Amino acid sequence: MSMPIALGISGIAGWKILQRSEARQIQSIAKDPVVQRSTTYFRENIARATKAEELVKDYRLLGTALSAFGLEGDIANKAFIRKVLESDPADKKSLVNRLADKRYLRLAEAFGYGAAKPKEGLADTVSQAFVQRDFERRVGEGDETMRLALNARREVGQLAGRNSSDRTLWFEVLGNPPLRKVFEGAFGFSESYGRLPIDRQVEEFTRASERILGSASFKDLTQPQTVDRLVQNFMSRSQLTASPVPNRYSAALTLLSGG
């Protein structure tokens, strides 16, 4: 059983401590015998899975693959995952392009069963992502807010350089539950916003982004300083929600969160 990563402090202060220790923590996790068994097995056996059917039949391969993309909860949904893997990412009408959660698209793109071939360096890509996700999972066992922040930083970073419109990328944010939760938290939105018509949701999120982050364009939102502002707003508002009793820090936290 893996050991959780406990920081001993939450909120923005804990986030800064986590950032300073992150590289060391990831190196340590990569050397964990349980993690090494998973990544070694994947590296040594993925070449045998020449079809999506063969991948989903191998529980260990599939578990590592799904965990690397944050989809470990789908380990029992083999028929669905097979259809995702067999979808052609280049076909706008294919299943994987109709799914709102684009983590499935990235999974299909990486393995390439529905296209010409998988991306180069698949074993390295999946192994590294598996270690990163395991780090995030262990952090989350101690503080789920920290896990969401790490996930958001990575997910927003992956949107950089994408040749998609801002509106399309906002739809991706709304369709990615963990990422959406961070934006909702940073903007002070309740989950009730999810019941609004989707076009209205995009409108509300872009307005809040312009007001709180200074821009609704992903050219700006993917900049490190803006991502950090997003995370700090999320962290500070989360602290206020978790500790509703006024104290001498409340005013500072409110200012940090743009409230």
Q: Which domains does the chain have, with CATH numbers?
A: 23-127 (1.10.3700.10), 143-256 (no CATH)
Sequence-distant (≥ 6) Cβ neighbours of residue 6 within 8 angstroms? 142, 143
**Tens-binned pLDDT, residue by residue, of the chain (259 aa):** 567 787 888 888 989 999 999 999 999 999 999 999 999 999 999 999 999 999 999 999 999 999 999 999 999 999 999 999 999 998 989 999 999 888 999 999 999 897 766 667 899 999 999 999 999 999 999 899 999 999 999 999 888 877 889 999 999 999 899 999 999 999 999 888 889 999 999 999 999 999 999 999 999 999 999 999 999 999 999 888 765 444 444 445 444 444 4
Identify whether the C-beta of residue 221 lies closer than 8 Å to the C-beta of residue 230.
Answer: yes
Identify whether the C-beta of residue 125 lies closer than 8 Å to the C-beta of residue 43.
Answer: no
The string of DSSP codes covering 63-85 is: HHHHHHTT-GGGTT-HHHHHHHH
The pTM (predicted TM-score) of the whole model is 0.82
